[in-house]
Amino acid sequence: MTELKNDRFLRALMRQPVDRTPVWMMRQAGRYLPEYRATRAQAGDFLSLCKNTPLACEVTLQPLERYPLDAAILFSDILTIPDALGLGLYFETGEGPKFKHTIRSESDVAALPTMKAEVDLDYVMNAVSTIRGALNGRVPLIGFSGSPWTLATYMIEGGSSKDFREAKKLMYGQPEVMHRLLDHLADCVIDYLNGQIRAGAQAVQIFDTWGGVLSSWAYEELSLRYMKKIVDGLIRESEGRRVPVILFTKNGGQWLESIADSGADAVGLDWTTDIGNARARIGDRVALQGNMDPAMLYAPPERIRQEVADILRRFGSGPGHIFNLGHGITPDVDPEHAKAFIEAVVELSPEYHQ
């Protein structure tokens, strides 16, 4: 593989010295960019774009052409695994992802097939290897998956949910069935992420989007437990260097210590957690990623710059911080405001690494 020209992101994940704080954005390849919208129109729809290797590569690289980012993230979707398991993923305009089939019973779970990611999701692996080649060592490539709990909520509800009623019916009414589902999904995620690593991903992130809807004991038992299993099952060294793992639980601030003990190298923070407080609690054990409120990108550029300065100040000096939003960038953000955010990190962070 080509030598990595910018390893700032990987070094920060390992809490090693860097010259400035690395920065990337969740959903950095997305609808806020006019060039993305044009490529998606060319593909026909979102899922077709994910499965079109040249176009998935193209949109992954688009934000790097605009901004001085320190990482690329695979363009895909967290729901590729349920789709590969036969649930029939589709997208309805304005309503988000939906499934033709749901998982509601013991027999539904028992009928789920064993997934072989490098066969059943070969289009993802093809995208990873193609993107790595196109990056040519420019920045590292991040692979990702949804967490078992997050995947399970979509599979049980049949799509997005406001109250997760069906998922909670299953977890409280038939806990043994829920655990079997989560265990199966953990095995799928291990296989999926290891496939991405073998294809060229240099770091991986587990998105636990809906862990924060659980009670404290349920989070530990139904979300974190299975993410720990995944971390334990991952390839942790490739191409002669460590493959760092980031765990991101939205609304997970109350469980930071437990997440830090998972074996992951970094913990992603949403915007509801003060990063200075998080560093005091767990920053000597793991790197921290985050955590500006994505809505701050609606503010004027000077206000965005002030917020970046404040988050850098609250984290303080030294390594172990990857600057990011506290969740994904929203579709109606002005790309110039994203530029102001990223350039502020580049310009203001070096003083914290002297």
Task: List the one residue out of 149, 229, 207 whose CA is nearest residue 182.
Answer: 149
Task: List the one residue out of 12, 68, 11, 19 whose CA is nearest residue 322.
Answer: 12
- Cβ contact 224:147 at 8 Å: no
To the query of whether residue 298 is one of the catalytic residues in this protein, the response is no
DSSP symbols for 154-199: HHHHSB--SS-HHHHHHHHH-HHHHHHHHHHHHHHHHHHHHHHHHH
How, if at all, do strands 287-289 and 321-322 pair?
parallel
First to last CA, the chain: 31
Catalytic residue among 11, 15, 40, 132: 40
Scanning the structure block, which residue is given the tokens 């998935």? 56
Amino acid (1-letter code) at residue 56: A
Any binding-site annotation on 90? no
Any binding-site annotation on 153? no
Record the tokens describing residue 342, joined without a space.
């990223």
Catalytic residue among 37, 66, 77, 90: 77
Any binding-site annotation on 337? no
Residue 212, judged by CB atoms within 10 A of its CB (0-12, 13-18, 19+), counts as: middle
To the query of whether residue 37 is one of the catalytic residues in this protein, the response is no
DSSP E strands in 172-280: the ranges are 203-208, 237-238, 241-242, 245-249, 266-268
What are the phi and psi torsion angles at 199 (to 5°)? -80, -15
How, if at all, do strands 89-92 and 245-249 pair?
unpaired
What's the CA gap between 145 and 196, in Å, rounded?
Answer: 10
Any binding-site annotation on 31? yes
To the query of whether residue 104 is one of the catalytic residues in this protein, the response is no
To the query of whether residue 219 is one of the catalytic residues in this protein, the response is no
Any binding-site annotation on 29? yes
- Cβ contact 219:247 at 8 Å: no
Any binding-site annotation on 321? no
To the query of whether residue 198 is one of the catalytic residues in this protein, the response is no
Catalytic residue among 32, 36, 67, 154: 154
Any binding-site annotation on 83? no
Catalytic residue among 11, 27, 132, 305: 27
**Residue positions forming the annotated binding site:** 27-31, 77, 154, 209, 327
- Report the catalytic residues: 27, 31, 40, 77, 154
Binding site listing for substrate: 27-31, 77, 154, 209, 327
